[in-house]
């Protein structure tokens, strides 16, 4: 019982901080209708800047902490101005991709500047404990609780009573009308974004003090928690975020005490699924209210007046310009097949990697390019394919082909399952739920030591055979993957131009109209999710056999980001685009070998520049020209 109350106290303190992160997140969602995937990195950056000023520059806390917060405020104003404002009327996945790009860039900058290691973060308040009965409360916990209460109350008063607060509420309801009323919408959005970010940074500093450590990846976990808390309380509601944060903190602390170690990390993800499944509009929202996520996720209803007037930009058709692309792709494949025998092992490895990632990008093309569903589980399907191949061939003596087939089927089943679970969520919600699913898969794979080998992964995966031949040389493996890749591209192309493919595009362009035209929306979504899972699973299987050793990192977030980069750069929806994107992303780092550690940063920048200036992918340049002619 004592343990219970101690964990309850810990949970409340932790929950206060989660509430702070969630408030910032929900506030930004309110004015921008945007799930800010960079919120976690802002939180992380806050802690790092505090570390920089406190420990490295050795400034006193009352200078260092405000300085860090002012810096975050300024940085977020810049981020909003240059990364989000130009995209405010773009189709809904574009700004989201932009936040992913910003998140990657911030993460990599910190990783490069400070190193990927964990740093000790010295608390600047004395560590003492207050004892109440048998329960002890640390000074950092007290501070967490106090600050979160004070900041929340202050924010709520600001929102409800001040003229600025009213303006923020007006902008979050209707951007166009706010402008007509004389509100400087850009300034309100910018400042709100900066306030939300700064609250996140405060939370980052508090958590750093409490746990005494900072590391570059701390942001992602915070993001998932913020999202979960915000969803729990109802997206867009500040009091809801507070209650959601507290609940999450308490459940998590109790989970840490009573669940086997490692699996308590899964608690927020499980909570997220549970809420989205049972009460997608949050625990405290009236059902069918205006904040119903099925409306908020829909790009057609979020921007108010403007969205009705402005046609969706960048909703490119499949037809124009693709033929040239297809010709180049075919020529490229033929050339690669012809010169392969003369290439060294290293070059062949790059070619095989290109095929694997092109397969993954095809999955993205099906689900996002055709069906318009922003699902970010590719890394999970990739890992399911790879682990099925690895485990079935090493432990159960299956041959590589059966294992690949089983892996593809398992991934397809997982895809169908996700589609059923997430049927009611769209747009941004879908993005985070599916991302959380990938994290969940990674946690399970990483902790289920007896079955998956845990963090050590699986080794000695046998090479595939065709009859008497063992495909174990890089050259033969390249030919094998090229054949599979070409089949994949052809299958995708066939799907895209089939009746089903057109139905998926209808689903992308207007779900309501699609269902009114007699298309079974739920069935279509299941088809899309299932298909989109098969491509990465086969890619994962290839990867497992080629490298003969795999680790749970296959399911990591950056794999998903890489694939998204490939699909977006190549031009969403186009088969040839998946190949080009994969070539660009895998070759660029090779061409700039001396980039070394800056590779991932370069991804982030490329992704950012692409969504900002060429949201239709590199090949939309020719398509634009075609339109003008």
Partner 1 sequence: MLKIEGLVTYYGRVRALAGVSLQVARDEIVTLIGSNGAGKSTTLMTISGVLKPTEGSIAFEGRPIAGLAPHEVARLGVVQVPEGRHILRGLTVAENLDLGGFVRSAEKRRTSLARVYELLPRLAERRDQLGGTLSGGEQQMLAIGRALMAQPRLLILDEPSLGLAPRIIEQIFELIRNLNKAGTTILLVEQNAAMALEIADRGYVLETGYIVAEGSAAMLRQNDSVRRAYLGL
Q: Of these, 82, 115, 158, 166, which contacts partner 1 (CB under 8 A)? A: 166
User: How would you label 470-480 residue by residue, b for 16+ Cβ within 10 Å and e otherwise?
Assistant: ebeebebbbbb
Q: Of these, 82, 401, 592, 627, which contacts partner 1 (CB under 8 A)? A: 627
Give the 3-state secondary structure of 534-565: HHHHHHHHHHHHHHCCECHHHHCHHHHHHHHH
Instruction: Give the range of 93-101, 299-307, 530-538, 543-551 binding partner 1 by CB under 8 A.
Output: 299-307
Contact between 167 and partner 1 per CB under 8 A: yes
Contact between 129 and partner 1 per CB under 8 A: no
Closest CA to 105 of 436, 492, 565: 565
Question: DSSP letter string over 255-277?
Answer: HHHHSPTTGGGGHHHHHHHHHHH
Contact between 183 and partner 1 per CB under 8 A: yes
Give the relative orientation of helices 378-395 and 400-421 as an angle to the nearest 10 degrees.
Answer: 140
Contact between 177 and partner 1 per CB under 8 A: yes
| 469 or 627: CB nearest partner 1 | 627
Site string for partner 1, 470-499 (x = CB under 8 A): ------------------------------
Cα 82 to Cα 78, 88, 485, 609, distances in angstroms: 6, 11, 38, 11
Binding residues among 321-340 for partner 1 as defined by CB under 8 A: none
Alpha carbon distance 266, 269 (integer Å): 5
* DSSP at 458: B
Contact between 309 and partner 1 per CB under 8 A: yes
Closest CA to 175 of 158, 187, 160, 163: 187
Alpha carbon distance 349, 162 (integer Å): 61
Task: In angstroms, give the least distance from the CB of 572 to partner 1.
Answer: 18
Contact between 320 and partner 1 per CB under 8 A: no
Contact between 31 and partner 1 per CB under 8 A: no
Binding residues among 591-620 for partner 1 as defined by CB under 8 A: none
Contact between 625 and partner 1 per CB under 8 A: no
Contact between 130 and partner 1 per CB under 8 A: no
Closest CA to 239 of 248, 249, 229, 253: 229
Binding residues among 422-461 for partner 1 as defined by CB under 8 A: none
Q: Of these, 123, 176, 301, 558, which contacts partner 1 (CB under 8 A)? A: 176
Closest CA to 224 of 441, 436, 11: 436
Contact between 629 and partner 1 per CB under 8 A: no
Contact between 184 and partner 1 per CB under 8 A: yes
Contact between 5 and partner 1 per CB under 8 A: no
Alpha carbon distance 37, 428 (integer Å): 10
Contact between 294 and partner 1 per CB under 8 A: no
Task: In angstroms, give the least distance from the CB of 291 to partner 1.
Answer: 9
Contact between 27 and partner 1 per CB under 8 A: no
Q: Of these, 127, 134, 162, 290, which contacts partner 1 (CB under 8 A)? A: 290
| 172 or 198: CB nearest partner 1 | 172
Alpha carbon distance 55, 491 (integer Å): 56
Q: Of these, 74, 130, 181, 466, which contacts partner 1 (CB under 8 A)? A: 181
Q: Of these, 78, 310, 455, 490, which contacts partner 1 (CB under 8 A)? A: 310
- Sequence-separated contacts (24+) of 388-392 with Cβ below 8 Å: 388/537, 388/541, 389/461, 389/540, 389/541, 389/544, 389/545, 390/458, 390/461, 390/544, 390/550, 391/451, 391/452, 391/458
| 85 or 599: CB nearest partner 1 | 85
Q: Name the residues that contact partner 1, by CB under 8 A.
A: 163, 166-167, 169-170, 173-174, 176-186, 290, 304-306, 309-311, 313, 627
């Amino acid at each position: 019982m004592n343990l219970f109350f101690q964990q309850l106290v810990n949970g409340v303190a932790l929950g206060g901080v989660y509430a702070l992160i969630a408030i910032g997140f929900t506030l930004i969602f309110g004015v921008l209708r945007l799930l800010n995937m960079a919120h976690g990195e802002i939180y992380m950056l806050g802690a790092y800047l505090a570390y920089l000023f406190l420990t490295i520059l050795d400034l006193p806390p009352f200078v260092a902490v405000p300085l860090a917060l002012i810096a975050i405020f300024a940085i977020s104003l810049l981020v909003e101005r240059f990364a989000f404002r130009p995209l405010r009327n773009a189709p809904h996945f574009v700004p989201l991709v932009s936040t992913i790009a910003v998140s990657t860039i911030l993460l990599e900058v910190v990783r490069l500047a400070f190193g990927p290691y964990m740093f000790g973060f010295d608390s600047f308040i004395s560590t003492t404990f207050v004892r109440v009965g048998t329960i002890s409360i640390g000074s950092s916990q007290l501070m967490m609780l106090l600050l979160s209460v004070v900041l929340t109350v202050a924010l709520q008063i600001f929102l409800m009573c001040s003229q600025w607060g009213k303006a923020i509420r007006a902008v979050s309801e209707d951007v166009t009308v706010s402008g007509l009323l004389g509100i400087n919408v850009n300034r309100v959005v910018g400042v709100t974004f900066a306030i939300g970010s700064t609250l996140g940074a405060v939370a980052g500093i508090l958590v750093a003090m409490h746990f005494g450590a900072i590391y570059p990846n701390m942001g992602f976990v915070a993001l998932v928690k913020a999202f979960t808390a915000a969803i729990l309380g109802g997206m867009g509601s500040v009091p809801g975020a507070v209650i959601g944060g507290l609940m999450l903190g308490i459940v998590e602390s109790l989970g840490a005490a009573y669940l086997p170690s490692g699996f308590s990390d899964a608690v927020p993800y499980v909570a997220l699924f549970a809420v989205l499944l049972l009460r997608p509009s949050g625990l405290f929202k009236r059902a069918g209210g205006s904040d119903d996520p099925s409306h908020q996720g829909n790009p057609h209803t979020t921007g108010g007046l403007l969205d009705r007037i402005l046609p969706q930009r960048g909703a490119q058709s499949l037809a124009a310009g693709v033929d040239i692309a297809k010709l180049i792709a075919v020529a490229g494949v033929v050339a690669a097949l012809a010169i392969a025998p003369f290439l060294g092992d290293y070059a062949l490895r790059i070619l095989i990697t290109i095929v694997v990632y092109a397969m993954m990008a095809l999955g993205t093309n099906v689900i996002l390019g055709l069906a318009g569903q922003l699902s970010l589980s590719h890394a999970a399907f990739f890992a399911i394919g790879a682990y099925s191949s690895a485990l079935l061939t090493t432990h159960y003596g299956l041959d590589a082909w059966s294992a690949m087939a089983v892996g593809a089927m398992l991934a397809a089943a997982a895809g169908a399952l996700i589609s059923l679970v997430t049927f009611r969520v769209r747009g941004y919600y879908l993005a985070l739920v599916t991302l959380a699913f990938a994290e969940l898969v990674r946690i399970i794979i990483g902790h289920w030591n007896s079955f998956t080998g845990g963090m050590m992964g699986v080794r000695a995966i046998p090479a595939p055979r065709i009859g008497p031949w063992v495909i174990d040389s890089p050259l033969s493996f390249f030919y094998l993957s090229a054949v599979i890749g070409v089949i994949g591209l052809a299958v995708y192309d066939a799907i895209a131009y089939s009746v089903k493919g057109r139905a998926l595009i209808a689903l992308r362009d207007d779900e309501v109209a699609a269902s009114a035209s007699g298309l079974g929306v739920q069935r279509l979504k299941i088809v899309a999710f299932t298909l989109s899972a098969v491509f990465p699973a086969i890619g994962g299987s290839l990867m497992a056999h080629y490298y003969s050793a795999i680790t749970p990192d296959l399911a990591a977030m950056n794999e998903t980001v890489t694939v998204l980069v490939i699909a977006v750069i190549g031009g969403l929806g186009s088969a040839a685009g998946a190949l080009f994107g994969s070539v660009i992303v895998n070759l660029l780092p090779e061409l700039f070998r001396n980039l070394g550690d800056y590779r991932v940063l370069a991804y982030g920048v490329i992704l950012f520049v692409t969504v900002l200036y060429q949201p239709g992918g590199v090949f939309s340049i020719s398509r634009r020209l075609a339109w003008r002619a």
